[in-house]
């Protein structure tokens, strides 16, 4: 491994196999170094209103959970998740002219069933649905307001204790499910515009040959489901990279369905490929490296998540500036210059007036909407203070029961 060139070379009796990534780290690399290098910029983007996903992939025992969780009582070995909590609350507390609301959810995919790790009934099976504006979401998933880093850790610990784990020959506390802890960061500026960032922290179950795990009975059933979902993830990655197929098989598993936006969609995504230094795990290591080598070629299309009305106002303002520039004498594009300049300017003035009229109408509606929103928000805050932690609220004015 060469961290300087971010190259990984796999040696065997045959020719060496070389892979190049965005970063490569030895097993003695600190959690702080890894976080600052690759995760810090992503979390900054989430606070700005982007979606972000970090997921660890690799065989059982390769360090996925260690990379994501770390060792809580050893500062230098804290993982990505606790560092992200601290980062978010420090950044939101020191950002001027903005108000923030942080809330979280925690789910697992066990035997191809989605369960709420923080819900009243952790065995209840939840359904995945899709909405034109919200995209893919889990119906009935509980949301929990977090006021500080401690409350995030408490939710994480509660959910982690509810996860399905089991002993195998490769790990006495092997994760038998995929889990997704999501932090929602809603920010409102002084004008009332709202942007919502979302950080998905994903801990995948291990990928390995069943013959090595010694799995039987329930463990064997779990391993089969895990491998099927990871295979579906690989198929989605291959289809996205290939670019020839119009159909991307997101619906082949619950995992790929929930990660749909993270793979080729509106999300900035980081994949951490964890590998073993043991030659006994050569095949699994090669598989993981090939997996990551394909995934690095996926092209996502991230954008800031903002209120559609705010986005419309911004588009109108940009259009007005464009029309103003074209109305300036001598500023008409070359393609327009070949036509009657005065007639073209008259047309542009007409377009300008129409746009201004639409903008005034939308602005009036927006002001009314913001006034109503401010009133609803104040009412919800008062209710929240009375009821306490049993009720949460979002800046969109929607009340949610836990």
pLDDT tens, position by position, 40-78: 999 999 999 999 999 999 988 888 888 998 887 788 788
- Position 307 in a domain: no
Work out the average pLDDT over 378-386. 67
Work out the average pLDDT over 94-123. 92
- Position 220 in a domain: yes
CB 397 within 8 Å of CB 376: yes
Closest-CA residue to 305 (of 134, 138, 190, 139):
134
Distance, CA of 282 to CA of 275 (rounded, Å): 9
| pLDDT surpassing 80 at residue 386 | no
| pLDDT surpassing 50 at residue 17 | yes
Task: Tell me how far the alpha carbon of residue 20 is from its chain's centroid.
Answer: 24
Distance, CA of 399 to CA of 73 (rounded, Å): 36
Task: Classify 146 as helix, strand or coil.
Answer: coil
- Mean pLDDT, all residues of the chain: 82
Distance, CA of 64 to CA of 43 (rounded, Å): 19
- Position 121 in a domain: yes
- Give the pLDDT of residue 101: 94
Work out the average pLDDT over 12-34. 90
Work out the average pLDDT over 22-38. 90
Work out the average pLDDT over 236-246. 88
Work out the average pLDDT over 94-107. 93
In terms of residue numbers, what domain contains 29?
18-296
- Position 326 in a domain: no
Which tokens sit at 28? Answer: 């003695």
- Position 29 in a domain: yes
Binding site residues, as ranges? Answer: 58-65
Going by pLDDT thresholds of 50, 70 and 90, the confidence category of residue 34 is very high
Closest-CA residue to 180 (of 89, 272, 108):
108
Binding site residues for ATP, as ranges? Answer: 58-65
Which tokens sit at 113? Answer: 């069933």
Task: Point out the least confidently predicted range of 5-9, 40-44, 124-128, 324-328.
Answer: 324-328
Going by pLDDT thresholds of 50, 70 and 90, the confidence category of residue 337 is very low
Residue range 273-329, pLDDT digits in tens? 999 988 888 999 999 999 999 999 999 999 999 876 665 666 666 677 777 776 666
- Position 312 in a domain: no
The better pLDDT of the pair 132, 86 is held by 86
| pLDDT surpassing 50 at residue 395 | no
CB 184 within 8 Å of CB 173: no
Task: Point out the least confidently predicted range of 59-68, 166-175, 239-248, 274-283.
Answer: 166-175
Phi-psi region of 397 (alpha: psi -120 to 50; beta: other; left: phi over 0): left
Distance, CA of 365 to CA of 343 (rounded, Å): 34
H/E stretch holding 130 reads strand 125-131
CATH number at residue 74: 3.40.850.10
Distance, CA of 355 to CA of 349 (rounded, Å): 10
The Cβ of residue 181 has, within 10 Å, a number of other Cβ atoms equal to 26
- Give the pLDDT of residue 351: 74
The better pLDDT of the pair 320, 190 is held by 190
- Give the pLDDT of residue 359: 74
State how many domains the chain has: 1
- Give the pLDDT of residue 340: 55
Going by pLDDT thresholds of 50, 70 and 90, the confidence category of residue 104 is very high
Going by pLDDT thresholds of 50, 70 and 90, the confidence category of residue 265 is very high
Distance, CA of 192 to CA of 99 (rounded, Å): 10
| pLDDT surpassing 70 at residue 392 | no
Going by pLDDT thresholds of 50, 70 and 90, the confidence category of residue 214 is low
Task: Point out the least confidently predicted range of 158-167, 178-187, 206-215, 256-265.
Answer: 206-215
% the chain with pLDDT above 90: 47
User: How large is the angle between the packed helices 40-48 and 80-94, nearest 10 degrees?
Assistant: 40
Going by pLDDT thresholds of 50, 70 and 90, the confidence category of residue 254 is very high
- Give the pLDDT of residue 158: 93
The better pLDDT of the pair 213, 141 is held by 141
- Give the pLDDT of residue 76: 79
pTM listed for this prediction: 0.74
Tokens 């099976």, located at residue: 125
Distance, CA of 230 to CA of 253 (rounded, Å): 9
| pLDDT surpassing 80 at residue 333 | no
Tokens 């949301």, located at residue: 143
């Amino acid at each position: 491994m060469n961290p300087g060139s971010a190259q990984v070379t796999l040696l065997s009796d045959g020719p060496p196999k070389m892979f190049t990534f965005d970063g490569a780290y030895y097993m003695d690399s600190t959690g702080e170094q890894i976080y600052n290098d690759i995760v810090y910029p992503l979390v900054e983007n989430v606070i700005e209103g982007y979606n972000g996903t970090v997921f660890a992939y690799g065989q059982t025992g390769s360090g996925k959970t260690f990379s994501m969780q770390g060792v809580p009582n050893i500062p230098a070995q804290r993982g990505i998740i606790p560092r992200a909590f601290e980062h978010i609350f420090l950044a939101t507390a020191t950002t001027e002219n903005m108000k923030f609301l942080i809330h979280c959810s925690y789910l697992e995919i066990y035997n191809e069933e989605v369960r709420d790790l923080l819900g009243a009934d952790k065995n209840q099976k939840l359904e995945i649905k899709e909405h034109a504006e919200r995209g893919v979401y889990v119906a009935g998933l509980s949301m929990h307001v977090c006021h500080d880093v401690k409350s995030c850790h408490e939710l994480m610990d509660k959910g982690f204790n509810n996860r399905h784990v089991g002993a195998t020959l490769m790990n006495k506390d092997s994760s038998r499910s995929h889990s997704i802890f999501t932090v929602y960061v809603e920010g409102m500026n002084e004008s009332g515009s709202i942007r919502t960032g979302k950080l998905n922290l994903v801990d995948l179950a291990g990928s390995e040959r069943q013959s090595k795990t010694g799995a039987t009975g329930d463990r064997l059933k779990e391993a089969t489901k895990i491998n099927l979902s990871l295979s579906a993830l690989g198929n989605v990655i291959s289809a996205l990279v290939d670019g020839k197929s119009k159909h991307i098989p997101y619906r082949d598993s619950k995992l790929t369905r929930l990660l749909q936006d993270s793979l080729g969609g509106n999300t900035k995504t980081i994949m951490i490929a964890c590998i073993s230094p043991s030659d006994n795990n050569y095949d699994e290591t090669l598989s993981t490296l090939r997996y990551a080598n394909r995934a690095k070629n996926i092209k996502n299309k991230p954008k800031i998540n903002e209120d559609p009305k705010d986005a419309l106002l911004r588009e109108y303002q940009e259009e007005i500036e464009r029309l103003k520039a074209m109305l300036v004498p001598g500023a008409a594009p070359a393609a327009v210059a070949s036509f009657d300049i005065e007639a073209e300017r008259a047309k542009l003035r007409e377009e300008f007036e129409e746009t201004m009229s639409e903008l005034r109408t939308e602005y009036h509606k927006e002001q009314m909407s913001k006034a109503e929103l401010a009133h609803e928000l104040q009412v919800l805050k008062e209710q929240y203070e009375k009821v306490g932690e049993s009720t949460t609220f979002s800046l969109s004015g929607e009340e949610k029961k836990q």
